[in-house]
A and B are shown apart, each in its own frame.
Chain A
Amino acid sequence: MKFVLLWSDILFFLLIAAVVAGGAWASRVEHLRLAWRQVGQSRVGMATATVLIAFVLVAMLDSLHYRERLPGTQGEHLLGAQENYAVEVRSALDAVLTELRTRTEKTYSAPLATHLFAKESLDADLGRDFPRLKHGGAHLGEDLTAHDHDIAAKAIKGLGLGLLGALAFGLASLPLRRAAPHLAWNAQLATVLVLCLLAGVIVALAGDYHVLGTDKVGQDVLYLTLKSVRTALLIGTLTTLIMLPAAVVLGLLAGYAGGWIDDVIQYLYTTLNSIPGVLLIAASVLMMQVVIDTHPEWFATAAERADARLLALCAILGITSWTGLCRLLRGEALKLRELEYVQAARALGVSGARILWRHILPNVMHIVMIAIVMDFSGLVLAEAVLSYVGIGVDPNTISFGAMINTARMELAREPMVWWSLAAAFAFMFVLVLAANLFADVMRDAFDPRVVKR
Chain B
Amino acid sequence: MLAYLIRRLFYALPILIGVNVITFALFFVVTTPDDMARMHLGAKRVTAEAIEKWKAERGYDKPLFWRTEAAGADKVTDTIFYGKSVRMFALDFGRADDGRDIAREIKARMAPSLAVAVPVFVLGLFAAISFALLLVYFRATYLDFAGVVLCVAMMSISGLFYIIGGQWLVSKIWHLAPISGYAEGLSAAKFVILPVIISLVAGIGSSARWYRTIFLEEYTRDYVRTARAKGLPERLVLFRHVLRNALIPILTGAVVLIPTLFMGSLLIEAFFGIPGLGSYTIDAINAQDFAVVRAMVFIGSALYIVGLLLTDISYTLVDPRIRLS
Contact = CB atoms under 8 A, between A and B. Distances in A.
Contacts of A411: 164, 167-168, 172
Instruction: Tell me whether chain A's interface is mostly helix, strand or loop, or mixed.
Output: helix
A429 B152 contact: no
Interface string B126-167: 000000000000000000000000001101111111001001
B294 interface: yes
Interface string A374-405: 00010001001100111100000000100010
B158 A425 contact: yes
A294 B35 contact: yes
Contacts of B14: 267
Contacts of A274: 15, 19, 301, 304-305, 308
A375 to B, nearest CB: 14
Interface residues of A, number: 43
Given A271-B15, A283-B27, A377 B156 contact: yes
A278 B266 contact: yes
B30 A286 contact: no
A308 B73 CA distance: 44
Given A274-B304, A276-B300, A389-B285, A290 B152 contact: no
Interface in A100-132: none
Given A286-B290, A390-B286, A275 B22 contact: yes
A436 interface: yes
Given A274-B304, A291-B31, A390-B285, A280 B297 contact: yes
Given A282-B285, A425-B157, A429-B157, A287 B164 contact: no
B116 to A, nearest CB: 16
A360 interface: no
Contacts of B152: 433, 436-437, 440
Given A275-B301, A287-B31, A291-B30, A381 B159 contact: yes
A270 B16 CA distance: 10
Interface in A255-301: 267, 270-276, 278-280, 282-284, 286-287, 289-291, 293-294
> Which residue among A282, A293, A377 has the maximum number of chain B CB atoms within 10 Å of its CB?
A282
Interface string A411-425: 100001000010001
Contacts of A280: 297
A307 B303 CA distance: 35
Nearest 5 pairs between A and B by C-beta? Answer: A271-B18, A276-B300, A433-B156, A432-B156, A290-B31
29 contacts: A267-B14, A271-B22, A273-B304, A274-B19, A274-B305, A274-B308, A275-B23, A275-B297, A275-B301, A276-B300, A278-B266, A279-B281, A279-B296, A283-B293, A287-B26, A290-B35, A290-B36, A290-B39, A291-B30, A384-B158, A388-B267, A389-B266, A389-B285, A411-B167, A421-B164, A425-B157, A429-B161, A432-B157, A436-B152
